[in-house]
């Protein structure tokens, strides 16, 4: 795609990010590779809902400004790391999708197989450990995670999605936030059931062959599970007492993933017969489940 059309597309997708509430104020940044191999990116401190062509810069692969005014986005290193790690990637979008970010704050993983069409097209979404925004550390964590995934959540911060073009990177971001929204609604209703492991494995292998994905994962498409995390393959759905599971036990309405499952009242009392009051036993059992006991 020539530079003129790519610039038009970038402005359009920036507006869509704001309209779809995937970011606010000066949040987020977009980039895409030009035919020359240089990078078209948004400048630092611009509102994506009001973005114009003047807010775009061309930088080389080391981040040096070649054309345009202002400084490039402070998170440029993260974008450059994606192009470095994945020769198939030609567009990168970073935004702060609210429900997905809330999942990272609540320590609930999105590296789970819940919706079939998402497993088919996107696989699972890992969360990169926290690092300061704009730091080389953050770029390193994204570089690592993006090798085997097209979408990555950044702990307490946002999401990074990639694709062969801006449309695909944008669709991946929308899919992440939509999945988070549906999963949250299910959790609010009592729990999100995961796909059976065999079905998740089948869907992912189909998806990698049909829609492609990270080259590392596509090369392993015949392996059972390919790029699905171990946790998914061993998961027995929402009935699982695995504390890393996606939802609370169905009999618990509390949307909090505890370190260990909260015992029943009988279990709590049996575990602490020496405690005098019922209240003491329950408090001790809950604290222990939260990892503070």
Contacts to Zn ion by CB under 5 A: 158
Smallest gap from Cβ 131 to Zn ion, in A, equals 11
- The answer to whether the beta carbons of residues 200 and 182 sit under 8 Å apart is no
Q: Which residue is nearest to Zn ion (CB)?
A: 158
**The two three-digit tokens of residue 30, written as one number:** 């977009």
Smallest gap from Cβ 262 to Zn ion, in A, equals 35
Nearer to Zn ion, 49 or 116 (CB): 49
Burial class (CB in 10 A: 0-12, 13-18, 19+), 251: exposed
Q: Which residues pair with 39 in a beta bridge?
A: 33, 59
Nearer to Zn ion, 162 or 201 (CB): 162
- The answer to whether the beta carbons of residues 239 and 194 sit under 8 Å apart is no
Strands of 65-67's sheet in order across: 65-67, 56-59, 39-42, 29-33, 91-95, 158-163, 151-154, 127-128
Nearer to Zn ion, 123 or 158 (CB): 158
Smallest gap from Cβ 233 to Zn ion, in A, equals 32
Give CA–CA dist 200/203, Å, rounded.
5
- The answer to whether the beta carbons of residues 190 and 250 sit under 8 Å apart is yes
Smallest gap from Cβ 210 to Zn ion, in A, equals 32
Nearer to Zn ion, 30 or 110 (CB): 30
Give CA–CA dist 162/78, Å, rounded.
11
Nearer to Zn ion, 33 or 131 (CB): 131
Smallest gap from Cβ 79 to Zn ion, in A, equals 11
Nearer to Zn ion, 72 or 158 (CB): 158
Smallest gap from Cβ 55 to Zn ion, in A, equals 16
- The answer to whether the beta carbons of residues 94 and 32 sit under 8 Å apart is no
């Amino acid at each position: 795609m020539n530079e003129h059309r790519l610039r038009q597309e970038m402005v359009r997708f920036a507006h869509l990010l704001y309209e779809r509430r995937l970011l606010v104020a000066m949040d987020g940044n977009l980039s895409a590779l030009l035919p020359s191999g240089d990078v078209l990116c948004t400048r630092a401190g611009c509102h994506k809902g009001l973005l114009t062509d003047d807010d775009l810069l061309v930088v080389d692969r080391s981040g040096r400004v070649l054309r345009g005014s202002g400084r490039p986005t402070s998170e440029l290193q993260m974008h450059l790391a994606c192009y470095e790690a994945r020769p198939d990637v030609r567009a990168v979008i970073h935004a702060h999708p609210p429900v997905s970010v809330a999942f990272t704050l609540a320590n609930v993983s999105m590296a789970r197989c819940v919706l079939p069409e998402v497993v088919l097209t996107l696989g699972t979404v890992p969360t990169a450990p926290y690092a300061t925004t704009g730091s080389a550390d953050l770029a390193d964590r994204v570089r690592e995670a993006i090798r085997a995934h097209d979408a990555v959540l950044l702990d307490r911060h946002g999401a990074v999605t990639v694709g062969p073009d801006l449309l695909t990177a944008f669709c991946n971001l929308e899919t992440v936030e939509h999945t988070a929204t549906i999963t949250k609604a299910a959790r609010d209703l009592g729990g999100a059931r995961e796909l059976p492991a065999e079905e998740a494995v089948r869907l992912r292998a189909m998806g990698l062959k049909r829609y492609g994905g990270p080259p590392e994962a596509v090369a392993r498409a015949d392996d059972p599970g390919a790029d699905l995390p171990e946790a998914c393959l061993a998961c027995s759905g929402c009935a699982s007492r695995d504390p890393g599971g996606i939802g609370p036990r169905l009999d618990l309405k509390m949307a909090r993933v505890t370190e260990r499952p909260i015992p029943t009242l009988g279990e709590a009392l049996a575990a602490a017969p020496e405690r005098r009051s019922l209240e003491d036993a329950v408090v001790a059992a809950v604290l222990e489940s939260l990892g503070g006991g």
